[in-house]
Amino acid sequence: MWHLSTRQLAGLALLAAITPALHAEDWTAVTGRQALTDLVSGATAEIEVQPGRTVTGYYSPDGTARIEAWGEVFRRTWQVEGEDRVCYTSAEKQTNCFTFEQDRDDPQHYRVRNVITGEFAHFHLAGDKLASGKEAAPGGLARPSAEEIAAELSNPNTAMGTMNFNIDYIAYDGDIPGAGSQEATRLLFQPSLPYPLDETTNVFMRPAIPVIVKQDVPSGPGRYDEVTWELGDIGFDLSLGKTLPGGIVLLGGLTGTLPTATDDNAGLDQWLLGPEAAVAMVRPWGVLGVLVTQQWDVAGENDYDTNVTGGQYFYTFNLGNGWQINGSPTFSYNHEARNSDNKLTFPLAIGFSRTLFLGGRPWKFGVQYWHYLESPDDFGPDYQLRFNVSPVVALPW
């Protein structure tokens, strides 16, 4: 639905009287470059995507536009093309065009048609105020598309809240007897609820809660203990993210690990703490970046020292329609390992994901394959499969 000025309403009334019917006898087209410019310039489009939750598009006279949805701002540009359509272009270079029609039997009733898909959005006007309306599909004048949502979810400094569920299957290998027959299945829940300070700056507090479904742990020469359905050590980070001009993203803060494991073989029984920093490049085609962390033991029951440099490199290539090629594997270097052959763990990763709308809510589904180029020689991961489900959620503030 649209919030139009009195001048724009008057123009629509005039167009309704002089424009011929289009598609059906009950509808008349709104045509003419100036008429369409006057119609859209300064207009507000608001759509209810879920009960009690709306997204809003603002179209400025200078040809810029923004969509406010799910706590994030999506930037667009718009222009009139030809004599009968208005087109917008998203930051990811996706373009959609629309035609406008007025109901001849109900002059306050309008519909907007997507030129490519043929889908309609309907809205009503009550004087110069907004009234009820529904939009047929994402990617319209008031609603971000799956491609826009997918690209934003790949931005490490996004203000969108998500509930991230990872399911990992890990196959092991190593020099100790029986290492190649061991495996693990884990669940990792990591919610992300950023606190926006302004349009380019966010504060992140992200816990990482692991549940070990099954984990084979070496307990002696050729012997392994099986850990099942136990809570692991909970990790967390507290960081500040800033987006700079040109799409450069910087993050910095603290990372740590809490000794919450419910089985001795499922955790370190130590408190870990240290710094983290990340840099990323966000472009219309995708994202490239790396995160580096450092953790030391600061308290705990065990006598040994922990000194681990870790991190994650990540990349995304946008394919359109919510599809992406991506990878986000984690790596580590254990400075306290007994020899150099057991210090580095480093995988290569390839995967794909799809963002779509279910019940009006964006969901991201993905799968990745990690192949470990370097792994502890004694006992370490050989390859890993990760399945991810991430629904977008409204921020509580």
Question: Is residue 129 located within the same domain as residue 239?
Answer: no
Domain boundary among 144, 168, 197: 144
Question: Is residue 126 located within the same domain as residue 228?
Answer: no
Instruction: With beta carbons less than 8 A apart as the criterion, state whether 289 and 277 touch.
Output: no
Residue 219 pLDDT > 80, yes or no?
yes
**Which pLDDT tens digit goes with each residue over 75-89?**
999 999 999 999 999
Instruction: With beta carbons less than 8 A apart as the criterion, state whether 192 and 205 touch.
Output: no
Q: What angle do CA 233, 236, 239 make, to 5 degrees?
A: 165
Residues 6 or more apart whose Cβ sits within 8 Å of residue 134: 47, 48, 121, 122
Distance, C-alpha 280 to centroid of its chain: 15
Query: What CATH number should be reported for the domain holding residue 7?
Result: 2.40.128.640
Q: What is the number of structural domains in the chain? A: 2
pLDDT over 90 percentage in the chain = 71
**Which pLDDT tens digit goes with each residue over 289-305?**
999 999 999 998 777 89
Residue 320 tokens read as: 């359109």
Distance, C-alpha 326 to centroid of its chain: 12
Containing structural domain, residue 108: 2-144
Residue 183 tokens read as: 């495996």
Eight-state DSSP code of residue 82: T
Instruction: With beta carbons less than 8 A apart as the criterion, state whether 30 and 37 touch.
Output: no
Mean pLDDT score of the chain: 89
Residue 236 pLDDT > 80, yes or no?
yes
Distances, alpha carbon 344 to alpha carbons 123, 287, 329, 372, in Å = 59, 26, 14, 10
Query: What CATH number should be reported for the domain holding residue 332?
Result: 2.40.160.40
Question: Is residue 25 located within the same domain as residue 87?
Answer: yes
pLDDT band (50, 70, 90) for residue 134 = low
Query: Token match 């930037």: residue?
Result: 75
